[in-house]
Amino acid sequence: QVQLVESGGGLVQAGGSLRLSCAASGSIFSTMGWYRQAPGKQRELVADITRGGSTNYADSVKGRFTISRDNAKNMVYLQMNSLKPEDTAVYYCNAARAVADVRSSYWGQGTQVTVSS
Q: Are 21 and 8 in contact (CB under 8 A)?
A: yes
Arithmetic mean of pLDDT, 52-70? 97
Mean predicted confidence (pLDDT) in 50-55: 96
* Integer Cα distance of 94 and 12 in angstroms: 24
CA distances from 9 to 19, 36, 81, 88, 91 (A): 8, 12, 13, 10, 8
pLDDT digits (tens, 9 = 90+) for 64-100: 999 999 999 999 999 999 999 999 999 999 999 988 9
For the segment 4-34, what is each residue's pLDDT rounded down to a tens digit? 999 999 999 999 999 999 999 999 999 999 9
3-state secondary structure of 86: helix
